[in-house]
Structure formats: C-alpha cells, structure tokens
Copies of this chain bind each other. A is one copy, B any other.
Amino acid sequence: MEIIDGNEIASQIIDELTEKVREFSGNKPVVLFIRVGEDPASVSYVRKKQRTAEKIGITSDLLVLPDSITQPELIDKISEANHNPGIHGILIQAPLPSHIDERDIFNHVLPQKDVDGFNATNLGLLCQERDDCFASCTPAGIIEILKRQNIVTEGKHVVVLGRSLIVGKPVGMLMLRKAFPGNSTVTFCHSRTANIENITQQADILIAAIGKPHFVGEGMIKKGATVIDVGINRIPDQSKKSGYRLVGDVDFEKVAPLCTSITPVPGGVGPMTVAMLMSNTVKAFELSLSTNSYT
C-alpha cells in the first residue's frame, strides 16, 4: 500500500512552473485575487496563494472589497479586470457573502482569465475535451496525481462520491475523456444514491468528495483500489491546541490497508489545488500570448 504524497507532487509542479516562468522573456504572468470581506479563512487562503505565486515568479495583485458590495458593483470590478490586458488570471476567493450569487459571479469572469475554472464556458469546454480550457483546480490536481503516479485508468471503474460543480462533476467528466488519465467508466454517487456501498465496492478508483468525515469505511472498498480523498473536515480533538483536527471523507486507518494507493488528509489532494491554480495561471499567460478563438 502506498500513501500518495501530495506535498511532494505539488512541490515538483511548483518547481517546474518556477523554471518555466524564469524562461519567459519580457512580461511575466499576473494574477488578480479578489477578496470580499475579512473572513479569516479567506484572508489566510489568499495569503497562502500569494506566497506560492511569488515563489514561482507570478505577480499577484489583491483587490479587497467590502462585505457590503452589491452584485452589480462586484460584476463591474470583474469587468474592469477582464478588460485589463495586464491581468492574465482572476481568482475570486469563495465563499462570497450570502447576498451574492456566487455562480453568477464566476460566470462573469472572462473564460480566458478564469484560472479557478468555475465559469460555465470552461466547464462546457472541459466536457468538449478542449485542451485550452481551465479545469477547476481540485479536479485538475486529482488528474495530475493519477498521471504522475502512473495509475492505469483506461477501462477502470471510477466512482465519484459527490456531484458538486467544483469537484464531483468536473473530475468525473475528466475521467471520461479519451485521454490518459481518462477513458474510465464513471459513476457519480451522491446523497440520494441507494445502496451506495454496492457501488463503491466496484470502484477501481474511488474519489470521495462528499464532505462527510470518515464517510467511506472499510466495507465500502474493493481490495486493491486507489482512493483519492478530497474531503477536508474539521472534527473536535481536545488533544490539539486548536481543539480540532482535519480528517478526510475516508476513514484512513481502516481503509488504507485495503488499498493499492491512497491520498492522506492533510497532505494529499489539498496541496495540489494551489499548485494547479498556479499552473492554470501560467497557462492563461501563455494563451494570452497566442490568438485564442474560443469565444
């Protein structure tokens, strides 16, 4: 059984991007982070992404907007960034205040600058198997893990737990592609699925993105499976200073012994998400250098 080291893979990707950015003569990639309000988790995530960008040689700008911003005002700010040729990628840190329609906001980011891959056009291009689209970062990270670990996917049964727009649906669509990783038989399970364990037991590759701590127990696994755990759940833990610890959607202790390979939480898919955001940003920069006709 192999524990897949997401930190190690992410760090390789970041090194490769650093090398690539160093070789760009002239302009360098620029990403704009838009943060609405002062939610401490958002402040910390954006800071972390900015630090990684800086390390790679990507310039990052930060636009902080007040919690009280309206939908049309936020759309105006996005529109300005869409029209600014000096900005190659735009990331709007979620969650947004509850009076804002997030999906609508994401759909206003120009597809060519949508490094988060949340825009409807990018999602459609991903279904169309276009190479010049932006896949959202967590699914892209999962694909990169499977690729770099050389895990056979063709003809394999991939079961995705969860049907979210940010993870479940795009990762399933990516695994359907006529490519490696891909060419898999793909099943989507979710809260309404009946006899879910009958289905997960068939999975050669199980991708858990359901947001329930320890949801996947040993009875749900086929022996020899690869398990990708996307969950990041806080559970109370008095032994920790913070009073909690992070666990995945998979009961790692019990499931790991049955697997051929498995991602841990933390240190599995998590670090890949930031790495793929940076990879998307460099890709947006490269696409901006060539003519781009998909709109």
Q: Which residues of A contact B (CB under 8 A)?
A: 103-104, 107, 119-128, 130, 133, 154-157, 163, 165, 169, 172-173, 176, 183-190, 192-194, 199, 293-295
Contact = CB atoms under 8 A, between A and B. Distances in A.
B190 A185 contact: yes
Nearest to A193: B185
Nearest to A188: B186
B185 A194 contact: yes
Nearest to A176: B163
Given A120-B128, A123-B127, A294-B107, A188 B185 contact: yes
* Interface SS majority for chain A: mixed
Task: Give this chain's copy count.
Answer: 2
Nearest to A122: B124
B165 A169 contact: no
Most buried by B among A125, A154, A176, A185: A185
B199 A185 contact: yes
B185 A185 contact: no
Contacts of A125: 120, 124
Contacts of A126: 124
B189 A185 contact: yes
5 contacts: A120-B127, A123-B123, A127-B165, A155-B192, A185-B189
Contacts of A128: 103, 107, 120, 123, 165
A202 to B, nearest CB: 8
Given A104-B294, A124-B126, A155-B193, 11 more contacts: A103-B130, A107-B294, A120-B133, A121-B121, A123-B123, A123-B127, A123-B128, A127-B169, A176-B190, A185-B193, A186-B188
A169 B163 contact: no
A255 B183 CA distance: 28
Nearest to A159: B187
B190 A187 contact: no
Given A127-B120, A127-B165, A176 B154 contact: no
B119 A155 contact: no
B104 A293 contact: yes
A119 B128 CA distance: 9
A155 B198 CA distance: 13
A21 to B, nearest CB: 29
Contacts of A155: 192-194
Nearest to A153: B192
A155 B173 CA distance: 21
A153 to B, nearest CB: 10
Nearest to A119: B124
Contacts of A104: 293-294
Contacts of A154: 192
A283 to B, nearest CB: 17
Given A103-B128, A128-B165, A190-B185, A294 B120 contact: yes
